Amino acid sequence: MLQLLYSSLTIFVVGDIISLNIFGIPVIIVYTDEIAKELFEKRGALYAERYPAYMAWFSGWQFNIALIQYGEWWRRHIRSFHQFFNSRVALSYEGLKIKECRQLLQNLLDTPDDFSEHLKFSIGRVIMDVVYAIDIKRDNDPFMNVVHTALEGFGYTLIPGLWLVDAFPVFKYLPDWIPGIPFKQFLQKYRQATVDTLNVPFDIVKNRANPDYSLVSTALERLSRLEEPLPNEELVIKNVAGTAYIAGASTTYAAALHAVTAAVLYPEIQKRIQDELDTVLGDRLPTLTDRKDLRYFNAFCWEILRWRPSAPIGVPRAVQEHDVYGDYFIPKGGMVIGDSWHVLRDKKYGPNPEDFNPERFFKPGVPPPTEHFGFGRRACPGRFFADNTIFLFMGCILKVFNIKPKKDENGNEIPVSSQIIESALPMPEPFECTFELRSPLAKELIVNRDDD
């Protein structure tokens, strides 16, 4: 998974730690569960700092909470974020998600070949509604196009060693006319889209006379009632909103697409999920209260997160003081990467980690794959919202449709690859599949709105 990072570099392996050097910067890669927990959780304060992400910052991503340096500014953002996305509040968005699920099901029925775009749009629409209460268009919405351009660039800004400017930030000041400076062309292509993604929806809500309920409108209303607000509090609200939208629209979409891939690759697993859904739900769609009764489907959702982490190398950290782990010395200021791809293949999850097997979570002592969302103080604060979204969206899809490989003109199934496109935010390789109604009752579940 770290092939992009390891290629053409000198690598040293000390026990269960990989060390390499990128442009003179010591890089330590942690790829076992035991060491990740020791460093990022037990010694959390020492490893909570972010390594300077100059390319991402220059591209306009300094607002992203995941990239903000550890300290009071970061804590203010996290406190604000948790007000709207903690485990309790995340449950309150269920009705909105189920409503969008029904529209997604209708779109899959009407134009199944566009399933990837439908997933991307529906997940983005839910988050846009929660954060800004802005209704985006279904066909070629200009703002969504800007967001997707920004996200396309974001994944590349976080790959360690890819950009010389990360090691030599002074290169930012080189004039644009000098040839052979790829990061300059990159900034010209992506920076404005990133800036617009942060500012445009926030300004729309701020300038509305009577905005609908949303994260931004609620936070701004609370701010207006404070006699002595903290400095730059409006900027905190804007940053939290931008982070919530961007993070959810990218990683949750990736997880949903991996889930569809798994359903196609493993039809026997898909059938078992559907049998369980039929037994527990009868003639209705799932809700979050059903989760405790849908043991196999819940394990499927966990296995998606374990099998295909959305951000397998996360965001690099910087150790704040010299540290020692076993026989290994970790120098102050060194870049430390938590490799969740390999941690999620730890022996605690059982044998054959590359196999997709939901039943591994039935064994005593096997925990949920929380490492999918990162480690320690820097774990993804939107994990509860994302986890619930995957459960509801995939539960509704599998309740209504059989997902099968598409066939060519000769009636042969077109193979679906289990491989991924490597980047900081990996996606499945493009594939084709069909969405077939499971029964006449399935269509009624799409059009019946009584339980929205």
- List the domains of the chain with CATH numbers: 54-306+377-447 (1.10.630.10)
Identify whether the C-beta of residue 242 lies closer than 8 Å to the C-beta of residue 256: no
Nearest to 64 by CA among 184, 150, 170, 123: 150
- Tell me the whole-structure pTM to 2 decimals: 0.92
Q: What pLDDT score was predicted for residue 6?
A: 44
pLDDT above 90 covers a percentage of the chain that reads: 73
pLDDT tens, position by position, 148-199:
899 888 888 888 778 888 888 888 888 777 776 788 888 889 999 999 999 9
pLDDT at residue 60, as a whole number: 95
110 Cβ neighbours under 8 A, 6+ residues apart: none
Q: What is the pLDDT of residues 256-282, one digit of tens each?
A: 999 999 999 999 999 999 999 999 999
pLDDT single digits (tens) 231-262:
999 999 999 999 999 888 889 999 999 999 99
Q: Is the dihedral of CA 302, 403, 107, 99 positive or negative?
A: negative
Checking if the pLDDT of 139 tops 80, the result is no
Q: How confident is the model at residue 401 (pLDDT cuts 50, 70, 90)?
A: very high
| Chain CA centroid to CA 151, Å | 11
Report the interhelical angle of 267-281 vs 383-400 (nearest 10°): 90
CA distance 187 to 190: 5
Beta-bridge partners for 405: 433
- Name residues whose C-beta falls within 8 Å of residue 317's C-beta, 6 or more positions apart in sequence: 40, 47, 48, 49, 50, 51, 335, 336, 337, 338, 378
Q: Consult the annotation and say whether 396 binds a ligand.
A: no
Position 320 scores a pLDDT of 95
